[in-house]
Chains A and B, each alone.
Chain A
Amino acid sequence: MKTVYVDNNATTKVAPEVLEEMLPYFSELYGNPSSMHFFGGQVQKKVNEAREKVADLLGADPPEIVFTSCGTESDNAAILGTLDSYPEKRHLITTRVEHPAIGNVGTYLGRKGYRVSELSVDREGRLDVDELRESFTDETALVTIMYANNETGVIFPIEEIGEIVKAKGIPFHTDAVQTVGKIPINMKKSKVDMLSLSGHKLHAPKGIGVLYIRKGTKFSPFMIGGHQEKGRRGGTENVPYIIGLGKACELAKRHLDEENTRIKVLRDYLEAKLLEKIPNTLVNGDRNHRLPNTVSVSFEYVEGESILLLLSDLGICASSGSACTSGSLEPSHVLRAMGVPFTAAHGSIRFSLSIYNTKEEMDYIIEHLPPIIQRLRDISPFWKDYLKSQGKG
């Protein structure tokens, strides 16, 4: 059975070039970059090169790049490291649609006595910038708002938000884990103070991340230890992974164009065909401000886990915002925050593409998904009711 992998917002394939670049640093080149001798020094040099490549993709200065163990650590460090620098300020502004790496830190801080404002989104997943303006207090220590949403791909107006936040003199963090490598980012022209990214979303391995910290931003280390990363993140560097991430960023820069042309065309093709072939299908999220690789579609009156398992049976790997797949009983907090009706929220499927996807793969999905939805609708009690209500039953 062939595998059609369209779950790249969950994780991506490690690029062969990335793996090749990493391998020597697991074996013969095992030196510690902090060592004085030549053996560590040559590794140090390679780590610096990787830092430059990451900085290059972001339009940042290399010293602004701090390597971490994952996107989640970057998010945690940004929030807790900032709050620690402003102990007298006990208010945080974020949104209702963040990844748990931010959302659950907010919940945790709420229990610790912080006030957390979660901005709402509309039916299309868009933020209301006026709500942000009304949320500031003298106590606000940090604003953290994701760049693009992992479930719907909706992109927030980060620079517009940045203007507003900076005018207040408040630090601004963005979780760009789903964004880096998919759309251009230039920190030189940005108002963002801190930005998180994660290696495994851009063809580097799992377990490596970056927190970009703009020069001059107050920050206390979250991982306290040695002098690594200029004292901003203790712990001997994860050398092979850092080198892999450097290579992945170099490739991502090269592939940015393709992401926004060929991949976007494939995504739009898949979306259009599914809407055409399957009745009662809707797209979740603002189609005009969306990552080029992501589409979240809802098929009414059927449930996401069932769809995923039938797809999986055909080798198609996607994901769902349905309750049953998340291990919880409620559909995704993102779709609920958007007010997607229950008829549709339970039947949502996310396809997320990468540069490794092809037109043939889209055609394979377009061929097989409509009968799957039909089959589940034939089992669903609500489909017939719906048809009856439409006078078609």
Chain B
Amino acid sequence: MWDYTEKVKDHFLNPRNVGEIENPDGAGEVGSLACGDALRLSFKLDENKRIKEAKFKTFGCASAIASSSALTEIIKGKTLEEAAKVTNQDIANYLGGLPEEKMHCSVMGREALEIAIANYHGQKVVKEDFEIICKCFGVTDREIIKAIREDDLKTVEQVTYYTKAGGGCEQCHPKIEALINQVRKEMAKEAPPLQQEKKKLTNIQKIKLIQETLGREIIPALKADGGDLELIDVEGNKVYVALRGKCSFCPSSEFTLKKYVETKLREFVSDDIELEEVRL
């Protein structure tokens, strides 16, 4: 069973604004029967050029219907400039969140809106102008790139959750992978990561941060190999740890592990950390 929020359930069971507007000012449709979901959106503006009425018809699962319903509620009363800024994340947030596997439902909402607004301006968003990356679901490079950027996607799996691309025969996975690499490189160039200023920490903060770092970065990997590591003490910049399980019997452990743990602690806690292994 999907873990839907109360808000999703409410909008699924009692969808708002179902229907199609006669002579709409703008209308857009995305998806198809083959894809398993589709949304037809239409709207009418009032004299102040604000969206007076928005209606939808959706074929799809509960979260697709709820996302469409949410979308119409969100855009009502907005100008087209404002509506154009609505992101799929806004739709998901409005619903109190969607399961990650279902994020494509919110993306479908955003895409239909984009097409409907273009339709108002007498333009067309033509898929043919772009390269279809995923044949199974007819997803273009443009859509995938947009999702990677806007939703900060890092893996093929995430791209599938958000755009459906890659959810079928999987033949497009190498292409999606390449797109992710390309886009993330561009993103990194555009916004070089801020060198995080390592703050001066109180002793308590420091111990907590060390524990967190060990718990997140080090211990899970050790445990997977049958080992473990215990934080014994912290004195100034000296951190004392004991190795447990398999690691404690392995002569090569000391050197490699020490270097590795030290590097991680320096990265996340403080540049002057020194690691000491104790045997208890």
Q: Residues on A close to B: CB < 8 A?
A: 301-306, 309-310, 313, 322-325, 327-331, 342-343, 346, 378-382, 384
The reply to whether B167 and A381 contact each other, CB–CB distance below 8 Å, is: no
Q: Residues on B close to A: CB < 8 A?
A: 2, 12-13, 15, 18, 20, 29, 33-34, 36-40, 57-62, 64-65, 101-102, 104, 136-137, 160, 164, 167-168
Complex Cα–Cα for A342 and B102 (A): 20
Complex Cα–Cα for A313 and B10 (A): 12
By a CB distance below 8 angstroms, the chain B residues around A313 are 13
Complex Cα–Cα for A187 and B233 (A): 68
The reply to whether B36 and A303 contact each other, CB–CB distance below 8 Å, is: yes
Listed by A's residue number, 16 A-B pairs whose Cβ atoms lie within 8 Å are A301-B33, A303-B37, A303-B61, A305-B2, A305-B61, A306-B62, A322-B36, A327-B101, A329-B36, A329-B164, A330-B36, A342-B36, A346-B33, A381-B57, A382-B33, A384-B20
Name the one of B18, B33, B65 contacting A343, with C-beta atoms under 8 angstroms.
Answer: B33
Q: Which of B36, B57, B64 has the most CB of A within 10 A?
A: B36
Complex Cα–Cα for A114 and B73 (A): 55
Name the one of A306, A330, A343 contacting B168, with C-beta atoms under 8 angstroms.
Answer: A330
Please give the distance in Å from B196's CB to the nearest CB on chain A: 37
Q: Which of B34, B38, B60, B64 has the most CB of A within 10 A?
A: B60
Please give the distance in Å from A383's CB to the nearest CB on chain B: 8
Contact A329/B61 with A346-B33, A381-B40 known, Cβ cut-off 8 Å: no
The reply to whether B36 and A324 contact each other, CB–CB distance below 8 Å, is: yes
By a CB distance below 8 angstroms, the chain B residues around A378 are 18
Complex Cα–Cα for A328 and B64 (A): 15
Name the one of A304, A310, A328, A381 contacting B38, with C-beta atoms under 8 angstroms.
Answer: A381
Q: Can you name the residue of chain B whose Cβ is closest to the Cβ of A301? A: B59
Complex Cα–Cα for A309 and B3 (A): 12
By a CB distance below 8 angstroms, the chain B residues around A384 are 20, 57
By a CB distance below 8 angstroms, the chain B residues around A322 are 36, 61
Name the one of A301, A309, A323, A379 contacting B36, with C-beta atoms under 8 angstroms.
Answer: A323
The reply to whether A302 and B101 contact each other, CB–CB distance below 8 Å, is: no
Complex Cα–Cα for A313 and B160 (A): 29
Name the one of B20, B57, B65, B167 contacting A328, with C-beta atoms under 8 angstroms.
Answer: B167
By a CB distance below 8 angstroms, the chain B residues around A325 are 61
Q: Can you name the residue of chain B whose Cβ is closest to the Cβ of A330? A: B168
The reply to whether B59 and A303 contact each other, CB–CB distance below 8 Å, is: yes
Contact A346/B36 with A303-B60, A306-B60 known, Cβ cut-off 8 Å: yes
Please give the distance in Å from B4's CB to the nearest CB on chain A: 8
Complex Cα–Cα for A301 and B37 (A): 10
Complex Cα–Cα for A305 and B12 (A): 11
The reply to whether B15 and A379 contact each other, CB–CB distance below 8 Å, is: yes
By a CB distance below 8 angstroms, the chain A residues around B136 are 330
List the 3 closest A-B pairs by CB distance, nearest first: A329-B167, A324-B61, A305-B61
Q: Can you name the residue of chain A whose Cβ is closest to the Cβ of B9? A: A309
By a CB distance below 8 angstroms, the chain B residues around A310 are 13
By a CB distance below 8 angstroms, the chain A residues around B104 are 329
Complex Cα–Cα for A133 and B121 (A): 62
By a CB distance below 8 angstroms, the chain A residues around B61 are 303-306, 322, 324-325
Please give the distance in Å from B197's CB to the nearest CB on chain A: 42
Q: Known pairs A342-B34, A343-B33, A381-B57; list 9 more (Cβ under 8 Å).
A: A301-B59, A303-B61, A305-B61, A324-B37, A325-B61, A329-B160, A331-B36, A381-B29, A381-B59
By a CB distance below 8 angstroms, the chain B residues around A303 are 36-37, 59-61, 64
The reply to whether A379 and B62 contact each other, CB–CB distance below 8 Å, is: no
Complex Cα–Cα for A215 and B2 (A): 45
Please give the distance in Å from A4's CB to the nearest CB on chain B: 17
By a CB distance below 8 angstroms, the chain A residues around B164 are 329
Q: Can you name the residue of chain B whose Cβ is closest to the Cβ of A380? A: B59
By a CB distance below 8 angstroms, the chain B residues around A379 are 15, 18, 57-59, 65
Complex Cα–Cα for A305 and B164 (A): 17
Complex Cα–Cα for A195 and B18 (A): 51
Q: Can you name the residue of chain A whose Cβ is closest to the Cβ of B102? A: A324
By a CB distance below 8 angstroms, the chain A residues around B160 are 329
The reply to whether A306 and B12 contact each other, CB–CB distance below 8 Å, is: yes
